[in-house]
Structure 1
């Protein structure tokens, strides 16, 4: 299976005396059929890994920060090395996770909110749903390292 590549769409924030405007101007909503918002009960919860062969997802951290890990899938199996992204609401960006990838996430701070935009309806997504253990690449991948 040939895959598109994961893509990070950078945005920005503009401030003035009235407040701020956060944006990702190069994100196009064409093809988006639904969105959903996730908020874990604590930063210790890991939601992983969840993949689709036909569905593309776009991820925006609207509040807080999160570690997002992606891996390629082939024939319903994780086959790629994990790729890690840190998204933060203070630096707006949208992560494109193409069809053929699995992903998981962990909030890095309290009250983190993540919005997922999907190219599939709920019914389409449920027929294209593959789950893998959160520790598939080892538990240490989710640990924040002190520096």
Structure 2
């Protein structure tokens, strides 16, 4: 079975006297079935660690900057605490899209305040039971 890794799909923008147009012409949205946004209460809030064994996600920043950390889970009942973390900083400057394959948990933090993260998923709400959560400190390096 192919083990997918998180991938940043680069977007871009065009600016002229009328304003700015952000785009991502490399993103294939044909698998997207659900869209929602996340706005953390403040910069100190860290939404961690939540993920999916089956569902994949795509993240893009609409406003601001987010730091996203991802971990591939080895055992969903009791994951190892020293798993590799992938770290991405995503900004609203261009419409970069972070693909999070199935099998990962994420940590999401607003880095500048009042940021908005757009999340796309390949399953509808309630279509499958596939949500896993671990304490925010579970994967801390000691």
Which TM-score applies when normalising by structure 2?
Answer: 0.91
The answer to whether 1:95 aligns with 2:103 is no
Where do residues 11-90 of structure 1 align in structure 2 (5 Å cutoff)?
11-76=11-76, 77-79=78-80, 80-90=83-93
Bigger proportion of residues as helix: 1
- The gaps in structure 2 that reach 5 residues or longer are none
What root-mean-square deviation, in Å, do the aligned CA atoms of Structure 1 and Structure 2 show?
A: 1.8
| Residues matched between the structures, number | 139
- Per the TM alignment, residue 2 of structure 1 is displaced from its structure 2 partner at its CA by 4.8
Q: Deviations over 1:113-133 (max 9, x none)?
A: 0010000111135x1111011
Q: 1:134: which partner in 2?
A: 136
Q: Distance in 2 between matches of 1:107 and 1:132?
A: 19
Structure 1 contact 47–105 (Cα < 8 Å) conserved: yes
- The gaps in structure 1 that reach 5 residues or longer are 141-147
Which TM-score applies when normalising by structure 1?
Answer: 0.88
Structure 1 contact 61–92 (Cα < 8 Å) conserved: yes
